[in-house]
Structure formats: structure tokens, C-alpha cells
Amino acid sequence: MTEGYKQQEYHGPVKRYCQTMDLKDNPELIERYCKAHSEQEFWPVIGEGIRACGILEMEIYILGNRLFMIVETPIDFNWDEAMAKLSTLPRQQEWEDFVAVLQGCQAGQTSDEKWKMMDRMFHLY
């Protein structure tokens, strides 16, 4: 996508978290994962729960079977508290189990256990 992606505009600073995870290296499973995250198939209750935890924006990018997620939050956001809350929300574990069969992870894991936080090693400001 050489045109780039328009970003949400905020009226103040935000924090950004970047995470990665691998899907099972199977084209059919990767297609199912992408479809599960499409506008037509993504479970609205999951998006509502993500927002209820204080997350402003979440994007997932894919290359082959590698996923890269960007999460933007308010400056005062507490990741650990938000992930603890997220894991208790209605249907959240059902969603995690639904997508776990497509992901390279253990069944029953929470989102926070599946996605691996990345360290920023460079920035150009």
C-alpha cells in the first residue's frame, strides 16, 4: 500500500504500543483470520470492549503470517490494568478462543498473553 494510511487526529499527545504475533503458516487459516477482522464479520462487542478499556485506536497489519498491531491510548493509560479489565469483558475469552485456532499460540490464552510487546529501537523526530 504505497499510498499510506490516514491516521486518526488527536487534540493532544497519545501513547503508542506496538505488538507482534504470528498466525499459523497456512493460507486458508490466514484468510479466515483476515475475514474474522473484516467490517462484516468482526464482533461489535469486542470492539466495544476494547474502547471501554480506554484504547483510542487499534490497527493490525499483516505480512505473510506475521501480524503487527499498533495501539494508541491516552497518556495516562495503564496497560496492565486495561488488559486485566479486557480479559473479564463479555465474550472476550470466547473471541480469543475463536481466533486462537488460527494463531500460533496456546488455547485459552488472553490477548495480552498472545501478543508480544515490541521495543522501539529507533524514532525519527
Short-list 22, 12, 4, 1, CA closest to 72? 12
CATH for the stretch 14-117: 3.30.70.1090
The torsion angle over the Cα atoms of residues 36, 41, 46 and 50, rounded to 10 degrees, is 80
DSSP code of residue 70: E
β partners of residue 13? none
User: What pLDDT score does 78 carry?
Assistant: 97
DSSP code of residue 7: -
User: What pLDDT score does 87 carry?
Assistant: 94
| In the chain, where the domains are located | 14-117
| Amino acid identity at 113 | E
More confident site: 107 or 119? 119
Q: Is the pLDDT of residue 1 over 80?
A: no
Taking only the tens place, the pLDDT of each residue in 30-89 is: 999 999 999 999 999 999 999 999 999 999 999 999 999 999 999 999 999 999 999 999
